[in-house]
Amino acid sequence: GTTGTVAAVDLGATSGRVMHARVGADTLELTEAARFLNTPVRVWEGERAALHWDVMGLFSSVLEGLGTVARSDAALASIGVDAWAVDYGLLRGGRLLGEPYHYRDERTARGVDLVHAAVPPAELYREGGLQFLPFNSLYQLALDAADGALAAADRFLLIPDLIAYWLTGSQHAERTNASTTGLLTADGAWNNALIERLGLPRTAFPELVDAGTPVGRLLPSLGHDLPFAGAGPTVTAVGSHDTASAVVAVPMDASRAAYISCGTWGLVGVELEQRVLSEEGRAANFTNEGGVDGRIRYLHNVMGLWLLSESIREWQRRGLHVDLPGLLAEAAELPRPAEVFDAEDPRFLAPGDMPARITGWFEERGLRAPASPAGMVRVIVESLAAAFAATVQQAAALTGVPVEAIHIVGGGARNALLCQATADRAGLPVLAGPVEATAIGNVLVQARAAGLLSGDLETLRALVARTTPIVRYTPDRILVHG
């Protein structure tokens, strides 16, 4: 059959990549054109050093990656951009007004108070359908309104939309990611009434588009060496929320499986056709995020690999020569710890000394925390697995989806200890892979828009299942904890 090529720009909270893909009805091959760290920066703001994203640095890495693609493939059909959710840039007259805040910046608590004083949380949930996360865009926007930043701005662009704007000059809001603002109605329109009640400027919110919509072409004036042929590739909106793209590429039967998109976060849930807005779901802090093709991502955020990466950062800061593969190998040799900690505790959200915080969690309960890095890694993995298993059970109970298997995609799919522990604690088989699910979901949606593929998400997932290796972990019943 015919094949063509597209490029996926995938920006995670820990690292970014540009993937070059060949796609056809029976073909799905990705090669990495660029991979780079996403390192946030603290900048003094008069009273404290605030945590920001280096979006200009990211854009520069994106252009370098696209340059590499262009030099080997001048006929590239399309480019799609996805990134982590909720964060955004404010612009005036087309110019970015400042480096976007990082959702892990400590400023958010005051924004939550401001919003909840104006609109009760239960009402926010009825409208937006989101789990409570203190950094949901609406809380951050309330702070921007309070400190005057919003008065200076005439445009709000979520991170992937900002990158797409810098590539094309065209401004829009892709719907899956816009759903994480808390400012959409159930029908996926901007919630004008809520926007007004919160004192936000309605005109700052750009036109909404669905994943699969062509949004422009590369600007000729990017000042980089991008030797694409003719008018260059189309930039196509994809599931621009990274998790929405990842869910597209889960090779699952959504009627009887749960998924865990496991990177910086562990996003644990099921895919639905309709929102679930029950009080039980709200109490369990489940979200109804917008998926590609109008599906609903009913899921809950679990802390994720952040606990491991931030611990390793701390050990390296102390001068220890440790890395993840070495620690995981050592951790696997240790006995399963008797106690796990609550991986959902909000104390783990902000950057900092994770091993000390975990130790604190145990000591407050009169328990002893593991002393060695390998012991700490083991208890982190087991605690994540316990939270994953419990959340899968909750997702099944809240939705009625008879979950028979758990798919793990993203970087966590490479972590055999985590996959096996999740299978053991859930008493369900874990199917691990693909690791690059987010980039693959990004590729599939733009390839379909470009006419290289056709069909619904089930057809796209069948292509993933045929072309990527999946590792199966069978639960060890003896080890299943109560």
Choose which of 59, 88, 101, 103 interacts with ligand LRH (CB under 6 A): 103
Of 118, 210, 231, which is closest to residue 168 (Cα–Cα)?
Answer: 231
Choose which of 242, 271, 310, 436 interacts with ligand LRH (CB under 6 A): 242
Residue 292 in contact with ligand LRH, rule: CB under 6 A:
no
Q: Is 352 left (phi over 0), alpha (psi -120 to 50) or beta?
A: left
> Of 37-45, 93-101, 260-268, 351-359, which segment contacts ligand LRH by CB under 6 A?
260-268
CB of 461 to ligand LRH, least distance (A): 19
Of 263, 266, 451, which is closest to residue 344 (Cα–Cα)?
Answer: 266
Backbone angles phi, psi at 266, to 5 degrees: -110, 105
Residue 13 in contact with ligand LRH, rule: CB under 6 A:
yes
> Of 1-9, 73-81, 155-163, 236-244, which segment contacts ligand LRH by CB under 6 A?
236-244
H/E stretch holding 165: helix 159-168
Q: What angle do CA 190, 208, 258 make, to 5 degrees?
A: 85
String marking each residue 416-455 x if it binds ligand LRH according to CB under 6 A: ----------------------------------------
Residue 162 in contact with ligand LRH, rule: CB under 6 A:
no
Q: Where are the beta strands (DSSP E) in 273-404?
A: 287-290, 296-302
Number of residues that bind ligand LRH (CB under 6 A): 14
Residue 83 or 91 with smaller CB distance to ligand LRH = 83
Residue 86 in contact with ligand LRH, rule: CB under 6 A:
yes
- DSSP string for residues in 380-428: HHHHHHHHHHHHHHHHHHHH-----EEEEESGGGG-HHHHHHHHHHHTS
Choose which of 5, 10, 12, 305 interacts with ligand LRH (CB under 6 A): 12
- Spatial distance between the Cα atoms of 370 and 165, rounded to a whole number of angstroms: 48
> Taking CB under 6 A as the criterion, which residues in 22-41 touch ligand LRH?
none
- Spatial distance between the Cα atoms of 258 and 255, rounded to a whole number of angstroms: 9
> Of 79-87, 88-96, 165-173, 451-459, which segment contacts ligand LRH by CB under 6 A?
79-87
132, 344 in Cβ contact below 8 A?
A: no
Q: How many CB atoms lie within 10 A of CB 224?
A: 14
Residue 265 in contact with ligand LRH, rule: CB under 6 A:
yes
Choose which of 5, 61, 264, 309 interacts with ligand LRH (CB under 6 A): 264
24 Cβ neighbours under 8 A, 6+ residues apart: 1, 2, 3, 4, 452, 453
Residue 267 or 381 with smaller CB distance to ligand LRH = 267
242 tagged catalytic: yes
> Of 165-173, 195-203, 261-269, 443-451, which segment contacts ligand LRH by CB under 6 A?
261-269
Of 165, 179, 153, which is closest to residue 85 (Cα–Cα)?
Answer: 179
Residue 301 in contact with ligand LRH, rule: CB under 6 A:
yes
Q: What angle do CA 320, 323, 324 make, to 5 degrees?
A: 135
Quote the radius of gyration of the chain (alpha carbons, Å): 22
CA distance to 23, 232, 391, 429, 473, per residue, from 163 (Å): 24, 17, 33, 38, 38
Catalytic residue among 73, 242, 342, 424: 242
CB of 269 to ligand LRH, least distance (A): 11
Residue 267 in contact with ligand LRH, rule: CB under 6 A:
yes
CB of 285 to ligand LRH, least distance (A): 12
Residue 5 or 245 with smaller CB distance to ligand LRH = 245
The answer, yes or no, to whether the previous bond of 160 is cis (omega within 30 of 0) is no
> Of 81-89, 337-345, 348-356, 444-452, which segment contacts ligand LRH by CB under 6 A?
81-89
Residue identified by tokens 């690791």 is 435
Residue 134 or 201 with smaller CB distance to ligand LRH = 134
Residue 303 in contact with ligand LRH, rule: CB under 6 A:
no
Residue 288 in contact with ligand LRH, rule: CB under 6 A:
no
Question: Among all residues, which ones are annotated catalytic?
Answer: 242
> Interface residues with ligand LRH (CB under 6 A)?
12-13, 84-86, 103, 241-243, 263-265, 267, 301
